[in-house]
Structure 1
Amino acid sequence: MKKWLLSILILTLAVVLIACGSENEEDSSGGDDDSSSEASKWDEIQEEGELVVGTSGTLYPASFYPEDSDELTGYDVEIMKEVADRLELDLSFEEYAVDGLLSSIESGRVDMVINDMEITEERQKSFTFSEPYKHSYSTMVVREDDLSGIDSLEDIEGKVHGGGATTVYAQIAEHFGAEIKSYGNVTNDVYLRDVENGRTDLIINDYYLQSLALEALPELEVTIHPDLQFHPKESGIVMPEGEDELKEKVDEKLNEMREDGTLTEISEEFYGGQDASEKPDVDAEEIEGLDI
């Protein structure tokens, strides 16, 4: 009996020692994991020496390819180039459809996104935004002959809105009862022609983007609705959630660019002499009950 009890005690002691040893090893390795996980996105970017930025490449004049050119440019693109240059980093762009841009941050395929992305309360729950580099408001492209039968925002109900399904503009359209026709990563003329030919009835989007797109395609029989200006907005560079150090570095350069006139200069180049870096002098209607 004594031998049996002694064997049990020895086995119990061995199990305790093994468990303690494993726990200590986990503590030790866990410390290493914690220290490596503490490396911020900014640390990673500095180590790589490069910023990888997501954009669509099809959003004129924010992010696009000029005719007969393979060089990406636009208001957003040139701002990002200047930020990277001032941070002394190389820069590369990865192109995604609008509905895939935010998920490219979550998957780690890009470090940040710039694509006229509106700063909203809902998005700020999952992402970090820079200070605004653009201020604007929303307008609506409709058919030129009858304004697509729309006299007010309430008249959108039952109409077909063309655009990315995950955009704030689609949310506005749905808020007023429109059906959403979504697209892949297509250029502005595809959206506009669908309004002209009746496949869709309207496109809600940014005033500056829409006015420049229509100027570039004057042959299309579509127009910006003359009586509807709504939903004032701000656009920022999107970064992973909680990356405060990266935001601080980006904001510092954006503020420098605002103070030395670089943001104004870039905006006037791409927005027909208009300064989108400052709040427009327009009384745009706030939309009540819009949860974005």
Structure 2
Amino acid sequence: MTGTAALRSAAVIGTGVIGAGWVVTLLAHRVPVTAYDPAAGAAERLAAAVRASWPAMRLLGFAGEPDLGLLTVVDDLRAAVRDADLVQENGPEDEALKRDLVATLDAAAPAGAIIASSSSGLPATALQAGCAHHPQRVLVGHPFHPVHVIPLVEVVGGDRTAPAAVARAMDVYTRLGKRPIHVRHEVPGHVANRLQAALWREAYSLVERGIATVADVDAAITNGPGLRWSVLGPFVNQHLSGGAGGLAHTLAHLGPPMVRWWQDLATPTLTAELAAALVEGVRAELGDRAGPELAEARDRLIVGLLAAKAHEDALP
């Protein structure tokens, strides 16, 4: 999109890993950004994060260098949101803190601004509880790390959120190149984190019970269903597994065994011993590979996959 046509300005509150990703996304779409973060040295770290993220943006088709002239970092929270059309909040995942923060944003932002929290699991109803001005424009807009690369954004309204605010947020995120989904009822963790948590639960249990190593579990996903999941979702993949009979055939023939597998799934206890085993397992799997290099390789491959998917009209 041409940023000024659809979104005149945005405020990003909190510029850690998630907030910085939002800044990169907005700058790439030529949206002026005012950022606020109370941590010492936040402005310098944010500028460095934008520059470090820009190679991935070039791969996504954004030429040149980031225009840091579109970015203003301020030390006054209320001033940060004074002229914003979109306020993207990225504070710590603490319900009381976020509730107070969103109430302050609600009092300071223009009446027409969308206030979206990047919360990974808190309900919008709780976050808008302290809003005395315009709670109807408060919602969750949960992205996925790395924010500037991964398209998914979960949009979740609260009890007091207006349908028009949800529709507008969906439109804004779409214009920013995202793939928003509307989560129609509030549940802890929204949708994607709940799906991840279900997998993590069994993955941790398999390691805890000595059935597989950390590296084995990772390999089972990255060399198996993860390859399919990156192209099609679980339901469509099951549909294709059924051949000519589609999903109906899969459910008829594999449904009963799947129910038995569900009944055998375990819930591990995240003890200090299990946590240590998981950490050691990751260390052994990675060896001398460094985190930054892994992240860069991951991002390059994801961008390539996104580009390839964009040319496959047969995909939903």
Which structure has more strand as a fraction of its residues? 1
| Bigger Rg over Cα | 1
For normalisation by structure 1, the TM-score amounts to 0.23
Q: What TM-score results when the alignment is normalised by the length of structure 2? A: 0.22
Structure with bigger RCO (C-alpha 8 Å, 6+ apart): 1
